[in-house]
Chains A and B, each alone.
Chain A
Amino acid sequence: MTEANNKDYRVGDDGFWARAWVAPLVLAIAGGLVAVLTADADRLGYAYLFGLFTTATFMLGGLFLVLIQFLTASYWGVSSRRIVEVVMSGAPVVALLALPFIAGVALGKINIYDEWQSVAAHGEHADDHGDSASDSDSKSESDEHGMLELGASVAHAQGHGDAADGAAHEEEHSHTPQEAALHHEILSQKAGYLNTNGWAARGIGYLIIWSLIALMYFGWSRRQDEDRDPGHTRRMQSFAAPSLILFAGTLTFAAFDWLMSLEAAWFSTIFGVVIFAGSAVSILALTILIGLSFYKRGLVGDAINTEHFHDLSRLMFGFVCFWTYVQFSQWMLIWYAGIPEEATWFHKRWEGGWQFVTYLLIFGHFVAPFLLLISRVQKRALRWLQVMCFWVILMHIVDIYWFVLPQAGGFHVQLADIGALLFVGGVFFTYVFWQLGRVPLLPVGDPRLQRSLNLHQIY
């Protein structure tokens, strides 16, 4: 038995990490209060989705990183895996935080998906009456004016007002009846997928799948801490491939359902990949930050050292480039074709002050990290790496903000957006920090741990 397997590696009485969970809890309470007090109902829906999805991407990135390590039977990341596992094991917390959102949308209290919800609800009159009662309270009463109402919901999605007085907005945005009819045609063909019941059921399905995989893997890994049984590793390896397939599918469709459907008629097949790339960037940056704190406070001895941070930052650098690649691919194809139905999504991210945010992403999420993290020297200067990780996480938050909030109108950061992010993120990280305070900080029972401790970068 090696030295590493004998030591405990817990936070113990380290003053900072034993009480670290208090900080996000305070932020969550403050953020929640600010969001509820300052926001109107419409904005709160967008703000909450922004906070929820940003938080979920950390968890999803963690899920990916753990699964891919078992799939490839890699040893380089074993010593930093526990941090990722703890973030991953927050899946049920994300599920709990997502339930009010899903319920709010299903019951018509959150109106951010009105554009397709209204069309789907009208379509359902023909075949199914099961849920239309619960939906109809958020809609206009009349079926005869479905066309007008749709024009209103388009205007509403562009953030210029309430869906209630449709006709006025219709004129204001000069949607011709032909355009409105075409729009309605597209949405009613999508109604088989984009309808309130299906959306809610799928959402709950994703959350259950994520929670199950996360708890299974976290449970096995924790049990291995106690019994040191390599059988757990074998089991986790054999479940890794099917779990990853499930993960890829659920992440893609969650991105479709929760983010892409904000612009109901818009579609992009690479959308899920963009979200996935951002998730991977965020979890790697977070792992480096938490690991650096452990390293500097001597909580894990030399078990997570410069060699491991070098590996993690290389992977982060790679995913930053991957994020750029897929974001650019998606944008360039749409820009080149120049079809209004596709271009509208990017149009919203260019007009109304959003141009600045788009440029910020290009330079802040790609050019800056690319030039400032490309060299081995930069990656191994831990202080530098720490600053860059904070920056990358900030840019990831801006990235998700850019995905959600343009749908609410022009660029105008409100307290509610920050409040909602602090609330959801705060609750999530209260759990993560609390959990880090009670489990061993290394997977002490993993048979590959010793090899991971000996990691050495040749070049």
Chain B
Amino acid sequence: MANQTKTPALYLAEYDTPNAIAQAAMKVRDAGYQKWDCHTPYAMHGMDEAMGLKPTRIGIISFIFGMLGVATAVFMMQYTNAFSFNLLNIGSGYPLVVGGKPPGAFPSMVPIMFELGILLCGFATLFGLLHIIKLPMHNHPIFESDRFEAASDDKYFISIEAGDQKFDLDRTKALLEATNPTYLELVEEEVQ
């Protein structure tokens, strides 16, 4: 434990009112920071615009995987049930007559296409979302701050991470000080 050193992890600015944090967020947004976040006790309307958040990509991910599910279902059923050719030497399909319908009758495959489409779409939404919001994450240096607990109570916080390209110990501090926070702190991370 003796050889531990501390490096700056993020600046944490604290505000008392939703209005103050919205004004501050717009200034940070206009300064061009990317790796920063706002922490409020509840979802604030208009915060998306104030932070300049881009529309989420989750819809596109879900759509692509949903269509992939549909395509997989079509391919698998047509390959195994409709034709007897041998693809890439992995084994031949076996044309099946079910219920007097011709092999590979498309309508009977629609429910499977639907189900597999929904399944992959659901998985893609869940895991895509986890990826986008960077979960699971075991720890975050922001919890080093004792004051941060109030983010789930009655205080509003802006954090700018040291990983940001524009992060600079002095200039970032000056920017945040110009937004009149009630408290400003440099949170440090222990590095072994």
Contacts and interface: CB of A to CB of B under 8 A. Distances in A.
Given A456-B45, A456-B46, A458-B48, A336 B99 contact: yes
A335 B63 contact: no
B97 interface: no
A458 B43 contact: yes
Nearest to A459: B56
Interface in B83-109: 99-101, 107-108
Contacts of B59: 375-376
A96 interface: no
A458 B108 CA distance: 39
Interface in A389-417: none
Interface in B9-53: 43, 45-46, 48
Given A332-B107, A459-B56, A374 B63 contact: yes
A273 B108 CA distance: 22
A328 interface: yes
Contacts of B48: 458
Contact of A338 (B63, B100, B111): B100
A328 B110 contact: yes
Contacts of A328: 110
Contacts of B100: 338
A459 B47 CA distance: 12
A332 B111 contact: yes
Nearest to A331: B107
A242 to B, nearest CB: 34
B23 to A, nearest CB: 19
Contacts of A375: 59
B107 A335 contact: yes
A125 to B, nearest CB: 42
Contacts of A336: 99, 101, 107-108
B136 interface: no
A332 B43 contact: no
A72 B55 CA distance: 29
Interface string A425-457: 000000000000000000000000000000010
A332 B45 CA distance: 46
A161 to B, nearest CB: 33
B4 to A, nearest CB: 41
Nearest to B46: A456
B55 A376 contact: yes
B63 to A, nearest CB: 7
Nearest to A329: B111
Interface string B125-161: 0000000000000000000000000000000000000
Contacts of B108: 332, 336
Contacts of A456: 45-46
A339 to B, nearest CB: 12
Interface in A315-330: 328
A338 B45 CA distance: 55
Nearest to B58: A459
Interface of B: 43, 45-46, 48, 55-56, 59, 63, 99-101, 107-108, 110-111
Given A332-B107, A335-B107, A375-B59, 4 more contacts: A332-B108, A336-B108, A374-B63, A456-B45
24 contacts: A328-B110, A331-B107, A332-B107, A332-B108, A332-B110, A332-B111, A335-B107, A336-B99, A336-B101, A336-B107, A336-B108, A338-B99, A338-B100, A374-B63, A375-B59, A376-B55, A376-B59, A456-B45, A456-B46, A458-B43, A458-B45, A458-B48, A459-B55, A459-B56
What are the 3 A-B residue pairs with the smallest beta carbon separation, nearest first? A456-B45, A332-B107, A335-B107
